[in-house]
Structure 1
Amino acid sequence: MIGMNTETADIKAIEQVVATVERAQRAKDAEQFLALFHPDAVWTTAHGKVLIGFDAIAEFTRAVLPNASWDGEVTYEAVHTQFLRPDVAAVKVRQIYHSAEGDTEGAPLYVMTKQADGTWMLHACQNTEVRVD
């Protein structure tokens, strides 16, 4: 069982990773974003592109993020963290792109792993576009 103080500290650390994702996305800073990924990470974009391994994620991110076309602000919020074991967490994120044309929402799931030095990294992530019908 995870101790309450350890779990609370880990949740705060995980929330800081999500906050860093937000900062990197707002700044369109590929390197800040990439620093959050485990070397063996897997990422699936909101449009279904599967990127396996850091090199593939980095190539895609460096090509796309600096030239991203949203014209407003983006926010990210960790809305639920489920510990699968003490060093693995599934984190449900609410992602909102605010623009003059209206908000669009994403519903990423980040599986994060705690490293030996105590830092949490993005390890297996799936971004999903939320469609409003």
Structure 2
Amino acid sequence: MIRMKTETTDVRAIEQVVATVERAQRDRDVEGFLALFHPDALWTTGHGKVLVGFDAIAEFTRAVLPTASFEGEVTYEAVHTQFLRPDVAAVKVRQVYHLAEGDTEGAPLYVMTKQDDGRWLLHACQNTEVRDG
């Protein structure tokens, strides 16, 4: 019973990280976004750019996020969380860009690690565009 309660608490914490990604992207909050990453993180953008390590992620984010422009709203939802170990989770995210001409989707996969202080951080992430067909 304790394991289930712990997993429920961890799922909520993970969902909060995903919600913070959404907020940080929407608000173009570079530092809020970067605070979600493990120092040894690996991030692959939706266009396939591979960023290895926090410094590379930070450099890219600081160059791109403040001037990012998208018409409409983007939402993020953790749709499936699979614990690989008690301190490692694979999180499938549904990312929807709500645009005037219609919605488009992304399907990020976040591998997150739980830190000694209980925080969950993004550790290895792949952002993938969803295409019809």
TM-score under structure 2 normalisation? 0.97
1:26 correspondence with 2:41: no
1:94 aligned residue: 94
Q: Distance in 1 between matches of 2:5 and 2:56?
A: 36
Q: Distance in 1 between matches of 2:132 and 2:55?
A: 34
Deviation string, structure 1 residues 29-83 (Cα, Å, up to 9, x no partner): 1111100000000000011100000000001011111111201111000000000
Q: Distance in 2 between matches of 1:25 and 1:101?
A: 21
Q: Which amino acid in the other structure matches residue 96 of structure 2?
A: I
Q: Distance in 2 between matches of 1:97 and 1:39?
A: 28
1:64 correspondence with 2:36: no
% identical aligned pairs: 83
Q: Distance in 2 between matches of 1:121 and 1:74?
A: 21
SS of the counterpart of 1:82? strand
Shift of the alpha carbon at 1:132?
1.7
1:74 aligned residue: 74
SS of the counterpart of 2:71? coil
Q: Distance in 1 between matches of 2:9 and 2:124?
A: 22
2:41 aligned residue: 41
Q: Which amino acid in the other structure matches residue 45 of structure 1?
A: T
For structure 1, list consecutive stretches of 5 or more residues without a partner in the other structure: none
Deviation string, structure 1 residues 4-43 (Cα, Å, up to 9, x no partner): 0000000000000000001001101111110000000000
SS of the counterpart of 1:113? strand
| TM superposition outliers: structure 1 runs of 4+ over 6 Å | none
Shift of the alpha carbon at 1:101?
2.1
2:125 aligned residue: 125
Q: Over aligned residue pairs, what C-alpha RMSD do you find?
A: 1.3
1:105 aligned residue: 105
Q: Distance in 1 between matches of 2:27 and 2:45?
A: 19
Q: Distance in 1 between matches of 2:102 and 2:70?
A: 11
Q: Distance in 2 between matches of 1:132 and 1:27?
A: 29
